[in-house]
Amino acid sequence: MDPGSDSTLANISSRAVVETGDNVLIGGFTLGGSSGSPQIIIRALGPSLGPLGVANPLPDPTVELRDANAALLASNDDWKEDAAQASYIEAVGLQPQHDLESALAATLPPGAYTAVVAGKNGATGVALVEVYNLQ
């Protein structure tokens, strides 16, 4: 917890029930420092949770990346929909196990951000949101 330390957070995650409207899964994170632009990957998992024993997994999660002003920076439905991004996510070994799960890669300046996970077409269920700092 020493602010003078050169350690960095590698990953944070949270699991919750995703409903509709305002009852979606929101993972907030802050990228610190005064310079640099860390590369991050955000994943929204649902279908792959079922085989792990999680009841009622979200069948088709979507993810949005928003800044501190709630402006939409990026979004993803199925992680393979952007071939270049999918290739990068695979290269770093963070590809989701199921094609309907969502993931996006972004290079971001220091600041506060949120990852918003919802169910496609109003679907509900349990989802996991993960944020990886690759630097």
pLDDT of amino acid 38: 83
pLDDT digit string, tens, across residues 6-49 = 556 678 899 999 999 999 999 999 887 666 788 999 999 999 99
pLDDT digit string, tens, across residues 50-82 = 999 999 999 999 999 999 999 999 999 999 999
pLDDT of amino acid 72: 98
CA 31, CA 135: separation in Å to the nearest integer?
11
Query: What's the pLDDT band for 1 if we cut at 50, 70, 90?
Result: very low
pLDDT of amino acid 11: 86
Cα torsion 99, 17, 125, 127 to 10°: value is 10
pTM for the model = 0.90
- Which domains are assigned to the chain? 13-133 (2.60.120.380)
pLDDT of amino acid 9: 65
Beta bridge partners of 30: 112
Of the two residues 72 and 110, the one the predictor is more confident about is 72
